[in-house]
Homo-oligomer: A and B are copies of this chain.
Amino acid sequence: MSRFTAIDTYDVRFPTSRELDGSDAMNPDPDYSAAYLILRTDDPDGLAGHGLVFTIGRGNDVQTAAISALSHLVLGRDVDAVLDDLGAFARSLTDDSQLRWLGPEKGVMHMAIGGVINAAWDMAARRAGKPLWRFIADMTPEQLVRTIDFRYLSDALTPEQALELLRAAEPGKAQRVAALLQEGYPAYTTSPGWLGYSDEKLTRLAREAVAEGFRTIKLKVGLSVEDDIRRCGLAREAIGPDVAMAVDANQRWDVGPAIAWMKQLAQFDIAWIEEPTSPDDVLGHAAIRRGIAPVPVSTGEHTQNRVVFKQLLQAQAVDLIQIDAARVGGVNENLAILLLAAKFGVRVFPHAGGVGLCELVQHLAMADFVAISGSKEDRAIEFVDHLHEHFVDPVRIRHGRYLAPEQPGFSAEMHVDSVRQHLYPAGPVWSGEVPAVASDGLSAQAAG
């Protein structure tokens, strides 16, 4: 019998602010970062699980401290027992009666919980020798439902209703797996649209995106309406009328200003306005949606948990949602959110970019296609061409589509040397010095 022996954490930061990559109306100078963790076991074959929480720089140390604070719930537990009942494992983390006060189920503590849960799913998929999307897709409806915490959902989705949805998706699974392996899953790109880029760079990247096969691009907006009108016009001209163009305000506006601003951009045939206001404001999103119809409204990358997603759907506040692999309580909670979206008939455009978010979330979108919604051509996964070289199993994009991962696990594992180089603050990228590293690989960094 193997047991969990450690949660090693690493404060890994990339100095992206030097290039203004990732700049938007609320995040002018992000240093894309990962509170990276490796779940260790005493398994003789070295079975381990990898996970990460994405942050944009400062506070990545707080995030690693929060991950370490979960150790008492993990260390010493029987690996097989945990991996065979990932629902119970996830609940044991979210239900810690004292840690719960720090959320519940939101912010730093919830993201830490999600990182550890995701590492356990990575380990379970590796143990099964499957990429995570396939590991999920191969579960029976009953197994999948057992991973989900329906607390606070039953007024919108019961376990019985979830089972019905999953059983209805059973026929055709094998064909969808084959289609996925052959065609991949549609991607859309945000690379042209960062606020810090010049008009020339925006136009050039937008043209290149279409040439590469992308059918949707996204622009950041929200700092100046005149600039946004000009940039949307340039982008629309560059991509032509048949490629979709979304815009993203990153929570910049109040309800009234969101409506006024978007009425000025509607002329450019907007695929959706993303995060027009506070991610906590369900009723605000509903008011904005009514105010700018038929322009579609979306949110989700900062939506803290399934309870807020439930309300966005109940209130008809959104036309589509983003999910994020590293914001909520791990795979389990994202499965709940995907089931809610299926129940309400709302499309999912997963949030990605950052560090490792593309690597992670592709698995969830593909599992959704095979086992839950059964649909992929009316949706797409965000793609930003950043930092993939640091991952052992990086995303592969061909003609604007994500190819299905083939290696076992959740694709979260980073190269040892990438971690070593970017450790904050002691790694060479930050200090100029070479840190001491254990000869057998990564030495655990003390959190904080």
The stretch of A51-59, A344-352, A364-372 in contact with B is A51-59
Q: Report whether A152 and B281 are in contact in the complex, using a CB–CB cutoff of 8 Å.
A: yes
What distance in Å separates the Cβ of A159 from its nearest Cβ neighbour in chain B? 12
CB distance from A8 to the nearest CB of B (A): 16
In the bound complex, residues from chain B placing their C-beta under 8 Å from that of A311 are 280-284
Binds B, one of A160-168, A197-205, A250-258, A334-342: A250-258
Check A155–B255 contact: CB distance below 8 A: yes
**With A31-B98, A99-B59: A152-B254 Cβ-Cβ less than 8 Å:** yes
Encoded as 1 (CB less than 8 Å from any B CB) or 0, chain A from 249 to 292 comes to 00100111000000000000000000001111111100100000
Interface residues as binary, A295-335 with B (CB distance below 8 Å gives 1, 0 otherwise): 00000001011011011001100000000000000000000
Which of the residues B55, B110, B255, B282 comes within 8 Å of A101, measured between beta carbons? B55
Give Cα A65–Cα B59 distance, bound, in whole angstroms. Answer: 9
> Which listed residue (B97, B105, B155) contacts A29, Cβ 8 A?
B97
Q: Is B58 within 8 A of A99, CB to CB?
A: yes
| Residue of B with least CB distance to A327 | B101
Q: A62 contacts B66, CB within 8 Å?
A: yes
Nearest chain B CB to A256's CB is how many angstroms away?
A: 6
Give chain B nearest CB distance to A241 CB in angstroms.
Answer: 34
A435 within 8 A of B: no
Smallest CB gap from A315: residue in B: B283
- Checking B57, B72, B278, B281 against A98 with a beta-carbon cut-off of 8 angstroms, the contacting residue is B57
Chain B residue nearest to A28 (CB atoms) is B97
What is the CB-to-nearest-CB distance from A73 to chain B, in angstroms, rounded to a whole number? 9
B255 lies within 8 A of A280 (CB): no
A216 at interface (Cβ–Cβ under 8 A)? Answer: no
Please judge, given known A-B contacts A108-B66, A155-B287, whether A55 and B282 are in contact too, CB under 8 Å: no
A294 at the interface (CB under 8 A from B): no
Q: Is the CB of A280 within 8 A of B254?
A: no
Q: A277 — nearest CB in chain B belongs to which residue?
A: B152
Tell me, yes or no, whether A392 is within 8 Å of chain B by CB: no
Q: Which residues of B contact A72 (CB under 8 A)?
A: 58
Give chain B residues whose Cβ lies under 8 Å from the Cβ of A107.
Answer: 102-103, 106-110, 304
Contact with B along A46-74 (1 / 0, CB 8 A): 00000000011111011101100100100
For the complex, what is the distance from the CA of A94 to the CA of B382, rounded to whole Å? 28
Would you call A151 an interface residue if the criterion is a C-beta within 8 Å of the partner chain's C-beta atoms? yes
Q: Does A426 contact B (CB under 8 A)?
A: no
In the assembled complex, which residues on chain B have CB atoms less than 8 Å from the CB atom of A111? 102
Add 19 more A-B contacts to A151-B278, A152-B254 (CB < 8 A). Answer: A30-B101, A55-B101, A58-B96, A59-B98, A61-B69, A62-B65, A62-B66, A62-B108, A65-B448, A102-B111, A105-B278, A106-B107, A107-B110, A107-B304, A151-B254, A152-B284, A155-B287, A281-B310, A284-B307
Interface set of A (CB-CB < 8 Å, partner B): 26-31, 55-59, 61-63, 65-66, 69, 72, 96-111, 151-155, 251, 254-256, 277-284, 287, 302, 304-305, 307-308, 310-311, 314-315, 447-448
A-B contact pairs, 10 of them (CB 8 A): A30-B98, A58-B69, A62-B62, A62-B65, A102-B111, A104-B279, A106-B304, A152-B277, A154-B254, A280-B308
Please provide the 3 A-B residue pairs with the shortest distance between their CB atoms, ordered closest to farther.
A107-B107, A448-B448, A108-B108
